[in-house]
Structure 1
Amino acid sequence: MKKTILLYICTCLFTTIAAAQTIVTGTITNAHTQQPIVGATIKASTGQVTQSTLNGSYSLPVPMQATYLVVSHISFVTDTIAIAPEQTTNYNIQLQPRPMVLPEVSVQGYQTNRPLLETAGAISIINSDVLQQTDESSLVRAINTVPGVQMEERAPASYRISVRGSTLRSPYGIRNVKLYYNGIPLTEANGTTALNLLDAASVGSVEVLKGPAGSLYGAGTGGAILLEPDRAELGREAGIGVTVGSFGFRKYSAVAGVGSAKSNVLVQYNQQEYDGFREQSAMNRKVLLISPEFYLSEKQTITSHLIYSDLYYELPGGLTLEQYNQNPNQARGGDFGSVKQNASMNQESFLIGLKHNYSFNDNWSNATLVYGMQRFRDHPFNTDYERNASQEVGARSSFAHNTTIATIATTFTFGGEFQRSLEVARTYDNNSGTAGNLRSDDEITARTGFVFGQAELELPSDFILTLALSLNDTQYKTKRLAQVTTGNYSFVKDFETVLSPRIALLKKLNDQVSVHGSISSGFSPPTEEEILTSDGVFNNDLEPERGTNYELGVRGYALQRKLYVDVVGFYFRLNETIVSRQSTSGVAVFRNVGATSQKGLETALSYTIVDAPASWISYSKLWASYTYSHFRFKEYQQNTDNYSGNRLTGVAPHVLSAGFDIRTRPGFYLHLRANYTDAIPLNDANTVYAESYLVTGAKLGLRRTIASALQLDVFAGIDNLTDENYSLGNDLNAFGGRYYQPAPPRNYYTGIKLNYKLR
């Protein structure tokens, strides 16, 4: 399996010869990425056994008569290595990844790099194989395989992510979920995330931490999502790809990479164009990613990335039910219609980050990163015209210390993160797609930061206890330089410093099953866009959300490790819940509404039917994920209306995803998938619902190597196979009944990728 961060391992070895035995040493690494493999079992032919350490190294005393080593790990193909202890004692071994074995990968989210079976928390991991099972136009379909997570696309490149029901405060964009890319914050200091600046091909893996469990990532009640770039393999490679599809979909890609023992450099360029099946829904995105990594020594690594993104997409707007049923291809009409006003987004972004990892010794290590971002937006909207320019800088540093306290192995992690941004925001009248008279001119400074600490203790009887705490602080300062009605003034919103604790306990029942439980507290301040709405009004009274989450789960294997099951139940009580609704002019406004009660069950399972690389059918698997959400308003009074007890707006009670994957030795592959979403309440009164829907899709292809160096991937696919009429990315509490954002009908795509490797 492809890992995300290549580390150069060069271990200084020594040989100690005792009577009638010797010590065999070496490293165990991933043959594809050269990263160290933690927890691999090394067994000598004479019976001696050990495991590889955090840096992949091992040391095993064996008799002189030992003739071979058997090296095994659940995520890799077992290998047998012939040895001759009397001649050499150094054996560096590379294991081939076993495809699609996700649960045993190391979890990065809590910075202890433990296997998933030894990590307490609701965590889901998506690797590159899952990301490549569709046309790779976006991350939507891959993210939606994760229980408890819903990603929506209101228009091409207009994304919204809900983790356990956090969509309610996100009429557009991503809020209340902290995102990182390559370890560097993608969520800005103002609380918003421009995920659309990335191309799906820029992401090699995704790790999702659900609920307020990310004390290491500061304030938040929705969770954290860690995105990692792909990495070049050893040697040199260059590739191109083209995909075309329905409604004018076109995607072009080029990649070049060089991997060696001292460095790894990957350069990607992706351009994606889409005419759109609705009026005013075209998109054009160009993304350049440069991702180098340098292994300066066995103690230190420097990783960086540079992203340039040029994005244009149109906003068709919401439809009423009558319009939706009559003609889902149309855009919002009327005096503020999307076509008339040229509702669209021009966004140019530049992001650069630098990360340094250093191991002082076997017990102390540090990871420090700095980054900078610059973005410009030109945004004619239905009701106004916005032009924004922003700059942001940030840094994060964390230390890890491994020690033993009274025979209890303990890992301490502590550090801090700081972000600061300056945005120049101007709004104008929108005169049919051109900027008119100035409405407001603001300079907005956002500052946020936190310090964190975590202790992980390996208790007797295979218990692992985690104690974590973060101290969070956020401030927004707005200087209004001009406004027609009110004149100039300054506004400061400074949220009080808040502690967010977490305690988790895991019990490993055996090598295949573990149970875990946790209690965590979350704090989520409003974003700058919620404090300062698009009509230029300051929302002075908006307070942060606060909540406590209780969680219990079990994960593990059965049936000779063919069946994997991960089940989590939770209860989350959220206070000062932030909700949104549209004003008469279509502007999103926000308010606190008391409390919500969120109870849920998340289940993921997979069954490996065949895993036999030498057979004609080399691999096949069934998988499914199910989410049950019993989310209710507990205390919600709006004027004379009492919504207490109503279902939480925007959350489906039942969501089921399932699929079947098969690969053959000649290279043919097939991916089938289906997603069922139950009826969704679209307003707080629960008087309007989006109907339930079932969407299916398939991808068929041939992937093989020609002449040992050229890799060919030819594929074709279909989405929305049954031509379901459904809405994805509904506008909640929309004024005038414009709730619906129609999703595309049945559509097709086909493509080819060529990649040349020179070792």
Structure 2
Amino acid sequence: MRYLLVVILCFGVITVMAQAKIWVMDVSSGQPISDVLIKGNGFILTTDSNGMVLRDITTKVKVYLSHVSYYPQYYHMVPEMADTLYLTPNELALNEVVVHGFEMEKSLLEQPGAMAHLSGAQLMRFNENSMVDAFNTVAGVRMEERAPNSYRISIRGSSLRAPFGVRNVKVYWNDIPYTSPDGTTGLNLLDLSNISDVDIIKGPAGSIYGAGNGGVIRLNNDFSTFNKGMATAEYMIGAFGLYKYRLALQQPLKNGSLAAAYVKQKSDGFRNQSASEREVFQWSNRWDLDNDNSLTFNLLYTDLYYELPGALTAEQVEDDRTQARPGSEELNASIRQKALFSGMSYDYSLGKHWKTTTSGYITTSDFDDPFNTDYKKETQFGYGGRTSVSFEHTLGKHMNLNWVSGGEYQYSKTSADNFGNVGGRPDTLRFSDDLFVKQYFLFTQAEIQLPYDLSLTVGISQNYLNYDINRKADMATGKAYDRERNFEPVWVPRVALLKKIGINQALRATVSYGFSPPTIDEVRTNEGSINLNLNAEKGTNYEIGYRGTWWNSRLNTDLTLFYFELDETITTYTSPEGVTLFRNAGRTDQKGVEVSVGYDIIRKPEDIINLVHLEHSYTGHFFKFKDYLQKENDYSGNDLTGVAPNTCVNTLDVQTRMGVYLNVTHQFTDEIPLNDGNTVYQDSYHLLSGRLGWRKAFSNQWNFEIFTGIENGLDQKYSRGNDLNPYGQRYYQPALGINGYGGVKLVFTY
């Protein structure tokens, strides 16, 4: 009887003692987090490489989870329960956000320039078919979408000369030059899923990155932290026949990792002649070599088609916002582009003080563009690369030197044929060109850490650009000829001084020179003219700024004041045939203020609602033409075309312990002048959007997310992008009214 009692008691203990199992994941990426410290009453645990931890417990236990890169959180472990917790990255504090700018990787607080960072969570808080809304949350940045997949990016008014496409801004993808050598960027060839986070430099950065007065955008697609295999399936639907699906696979290797993804997106379009379809395939490999060296390979193939509804007059918009410009449907105004981009990047350590980074790429593209005025066919081949050598050394107790030098080279050849357009098909050849573009620059920069928490950065580059236009056929003249333009070498200096105040505040001052030569599309236009007299824009930017983190890293502030005086400003005008042409327009005065403030209203990891975060950004761009005479017209003193003087964005993010989240965004855009004479404006408007979702893990292998959202919740009548100085008063590209979307994501980890 005594032995039976012992057995019963032991059995009772065994039944009460049970395992609790939890997995800890990153809320934005869904990746497991290793080395999370879990403290309970009398025990300390850490998660393994799969983000998992086991604990034998007999009763409900309150534990505290902490990690250096994440907000802490409380949790109640219960016997025989398996659950997944999502931690929020602690990257809201400016001294925690690490960005790459001016060849220096350091916290945003210590960066000696006007910079911004968009994390993966910030990119994914909107409708994921476009990156427009995420970019527009950044003070000083305006992204437009005139037609589906037809993007423009303006940093401090830099899109004045861009009737279409991205110009005057330098773009890198995974440290590889992505902007073409003439200064244009096919941003629509990338899907949002090809980008994990973004670093943005605002204002001239030519001392390191070459031509472009707007600034620099670094698009990153980091998968260096993969520590387990993962298969992903996503599906999203939206208004007007929008759907998008993505299939992805990532696999750790013995000394690195690989990833592959396929995305297809299709929409019928809000307006007539506005359907679009895009397929993107990406393959990436990373090899971690000895001595912290690494080699990365990226291949991107895109098949893109989108229709061009064209701009409307005010009367046409009032009559029917969904109509296309007359002739667009009959002539099948559209773009079909197939592009292949492949590149490699190699980081190599040369010892304790030296390291190098070298990247190279090859790209090809087929471009087919029937339009209202003509039919253009292009094939392009290009290659290029960038290399830098850096040296870091301690000079004394309070002094440190970081020196970097290198160069960048790019070349492209484009065969471009322009035909007449008859019923959406190419007709008689009008002219045919071979276009050769070659640009390169050399740069050097030194950053010296001085006593009293001062940092001085001095950089300079020398830039070269050559256009060679070989006209093989010209039906207007019946002659073949060659035209060449060598732009004079340009020295581009930059000086920056930063003063840290304690560990959470910093003041900065910058003087930088910028230049931006015309693109090949501005020199050689669609009606056949070649304008070799078009000069490069040149200017000097003066800037002061402040960054600070307060209230236990719960309040962040970023303030920038700048004055940019630009000479030989390039503006657009339209011929009676509807062709966009370009001209130098004298000087502009560009005074501006950019403010960002973010703070946590609630940060209580033990509560059901554990995070409520507010963010506000204000852009004041008070830009004027200083000296602008065109024939009998004097536009001096007018507002700069296409620039809203005031823009304000407010965001609200709510996260709960159960995985439910809410993102709300309000954007105000002031009235925008649409012609140089300031006689036509787009009215101001307010946009309201929101996304509601739920993330849940059902085991250590399956993660699930479902979400729904609304765009333009106030049903504003506005243009997502306008035509500037158009012929025939066709200014407006109407945007969708109120609309919604929804989707699901499923991740299997193995």
| TM-score, normalised via structure 1 length | 0.87
In the TM superposition, residue 470 of structure 1 has moved relative to its aligned partner by 0.9
Give the counterpart of 1:384 among 374, 377, 388: 374
Aligned letter for 1:462? D
**Which residue matches 2:462?**
471
Aligned letter for 2:407? G
Bigger Cα displacement from structure 2, 236-245 vs 98-107 = 98-107
Aligned letter for 1:452? F
**Which residue matches 2:246?**
253
**Which residue matches 2:232?**
239
Alignment of structure 1 residues 264-279 onto 2, 5 Å: 264-279=257-272
Query: Does 2:493 align with 1:501?
Result: yes
Alignment of structure 1 residues 193-232 onto 2, 5 Å: 193-231=185-223
Aligned letter for 2:419? Y
Query: Does 2:546 align with 1:554?
Result: yes
SS at match of 2:290: coil
**Which residue matches 2:453?**
462
- Equivalent-residue separation in structure 2 for 1:640 and 1:97 (angstroms): 60
Q: Residues 305 and 334 of structure 2 are in contact (CA less than 8 Å); yes or no, is this contact kept in structure 1?
A: yes
- Equivalent-residue separation in structure 2 for 1:531 and 1:409 (angstroms): 46
**Which residue matches 1:16?**
none
In the TM superposition, residue 613 of structure 1 has moved relative to its aligned partner by 3.2
SS at match of 1:201: helix
SS at match of 2:687: strand
Give the counterpart of 1:126 among 118, 121, 143: 118
Give the counterpart of 2:256 among 263, 269, 273: 263
SS at match of 2:426: strand
- Equivalent-residue separation in structure 2 for 1:293 and 1:33 (angstroms): 18
Q: Residues 183 and 519 of structure 2 are in contact (CA less than 8 Å); yes or no, is this contact kept in structure 1?
A: yes
Q: Residues 662 and 691 of structure 2 are in contact (CA less than 8 Å); yes or no, is this contact kept in structure 1?
A: yes
**Which residue matches 1:399?**
389
In the TM superposition, residue 354 of structure 1 has moved relative to its aligned partner by 0.5
Alignment of structure 1 residues 632-671 onto 2, 5 Å: 632-671=624-663
Query: Does 2:353 align with 1:366?
Result: no
Alignment of structure 1 residues 73-84 onto 2, 5 Å: 73=68, 75-77=69-71
Aligned letter for 1:468? G
Query: Does 2:329 align with 1:339?
Result: yes
- Equivalent-residue separation in structure 2 for 1:282 and 1:379 (angstroms): 15
Percent identical: 41
- Equivalent-residue separation in structure 1 for 2:417 and 2:93 (angstroms): 47
- Equivalent-residue separation in structure 1 for 2:614 and 2:29 (angstroms): 27
Q: Residues 393 and 401 of structure 2 are in contact (CA less than 8 Å); yes or no, is this contact kept in structure 1?
A: yes
Q: In terms of Rg, which structure is larger?
A: 2
Q: Residues 32 and 97 of structure 1 are in contact (CA less than 8 Å); yes or no, is this contact kept in structure 2?
A: no
| Deviation string, structure 1 residues 662-701 (Cα, Å, up to 9, x no partner) | 0111100000001110000000000000000001011001
Q: Residues 333 and 371 of structure 2 are in contact (CA less than 8 Å); yes or no, is this contact kept in structure 1?
A: yes
Q: Residues 623 and 660 of structure 1 are in contact (CA less than 8 Å); yes or no, is this contact kept in structure 2?
A: yes
Query: Does 2:571 align with 1:592?
Result: no
Aligned letter for 1:621? H
Query: Does 2:476 align with 1:485?
Result: yes
SS at match of 1:108: strand
User: Which 4+ residue blocks in structure 1 deviate beyond 6 angstroms?
Assistant: 30-37
Aligned letter for 2:606? A
Give the counterpart of 1:158 among 146, 150, 157: 150
Query: Does 2:290 align with 1:297?
Result: yes
Structure 2: which 5+ runs fail to align? 1-27, 36-64, 74-85
Aligned letter for 1:552? I
Q: Residues 93 and 556 of structure 2 are in contact (CA less than 8 Å); yes or no, is this contact kept in structure 1?
A: no
- Equivalent-residue separation in structure 1 for 2:228 and 2:67 (angstroms): 26
- Equivalent-residue separation in structure 2 for 1:236 and 1:692 (angstroms): 48
- Equivalent-residue separation in structure 2 for 1:647 and 1:476 (angstroms): 33
- Equivalent-residue separation in structure 2 for 1:341 and 1:300 (angstroms): 53
Q: Residues 135 and 243 of structure 1 are in contact (CA less than 8 Å); yes or no, is this contact kept in structure 2?
A: no
1:655 to 1:244, Cα distance in 2 relative to 1, 3 A: same
Aligned letter for 1:742? P
Alignment of structure 1 residues 78-97 onto 2, 5 Å: none
Query: Does 2:731 align with 1:743?
Result: no
Aligned letter for 1:616? I
1:243 to 1:624, Cα distance in 2 relative to 1, 3 A: same
SS at match of 1:298: helix
**Which residue matches 2:275?**
282
1:174 to 1:607, Cα distance in 2 relative to 1, 3 A: same
Aligned letter for 1:385? Y
Structure 1: which 5+ runs fail to align? 1-29, 38-69, 80-94
Q: Residues 210 and 222 of structure 1 are in contact (CA less than 8 Å); yes or no, is this contact kept in structure 2?
A: yes
SS at match of 1:113: strand
Aligned letter for 1:746? I
In the TM superposition, residue 323 of structure 1 has moved relative to its aligned partner by 0.7
Give the counterpart of 1:175 among 149, 167, 170: 167
**Which residue matches 2:561?**
569
- Equivalent-residue separation in structure 1 for 2:519 and 2:104 (angstroms): 30
In the TM superposition, residue 559 of structure 1 has moved relative to its aligned partner by 2.0
Q: Residues 617 and 648 of structure 2 are in contact (CA less than 8 Å); yes or no, is this contact kept in structure 1?
A: yes
SS at match of 1:235: coil
- Equivalent-residue separation in structure 2 for 1:211 and 1:100 (angstroms): 24
1:221 to 1:227, Cα distance in 2 relative to 1, 3 A: same
Query: Does 2:459 align with 1:450?
Result: no
| Deviation string, structure 1 residues 232-259 (Cα, Å, up to 9, x no partner) | 6310000101100111100010111013
**Which residue matches 1:528?**
520
**Which residue matches 2:306?**
313
Q: Residues 31 and 97 of structure 1 are in contact (CA less than 8 Å); yes or no, is this contact kept in structure 2?
A: no
Aligned letter for 1:532? R
Aligned letter for 2:718? Y
- Equivalent-residue separation in structure 2 for 1:78 and 1:191 (angstroms): 45
| TM-score, normalised via structure 2 length | 0.88
Aligned letter for 1:584? P
- Equivalent-residue separation in structure 1 for 2:352 and 2:32 (angstroms): 20
In the TM superposition, residue 98 of structure 1 has moved relative to its aligned partner by 2.5
In the TM superposition, residue 298 of structure 1 has moved relative to its aligned partner by 2.7
1:540 to 1:661, Cα distance in 2 relative to 1, 3 A: same
Alignment of structure 1 residues 687-698 onto 2, 5 Å: 687-698=679-690
- Equivalent-residue separation in structure 2 for 1:356 and 1:167 (angstroms): 33
- Equivalent-residue separation in structure 1 for 2:191 and 2:89 (angstroms): 27
**Which residue matches 1:348?**
338
| Deviation string, structure 1 residues 51-108 (Cα, Å, up to 9, x no partner) | xxxxxxxxxxxxxxxxxxx9975x44579xxxxxxxxxxxxxxx97625526322221
In the TM superposition, residue 704 of structure 1 has moved relative to its aligned partner by 1.6
- Equivalent-residue separation in structure 2 for 1:96 and 1:34 (angstroms): 10
1:118 to 1:34, Cα distance in 2 relative to 1, 3 A: farther
RMSD value over aligned CA atoms?
2.0
In the TM superposition, residue 501 of structure 1 has moved relative to its aligned partner by 0.3
SS at match of 1:248: coil
Q: Residues 343 and 359 of structure 2 are in contact (CA less than 8 Å); yes or no, is this contact kept in structure 1?
A: yes
In the TM superposition, residue 635 of structure 1 has moved relative to its aligned partner by 0.3
SS at match of 2:295: strand
Aligned residues between the structures: 678
Aligned letter for 1:245? G
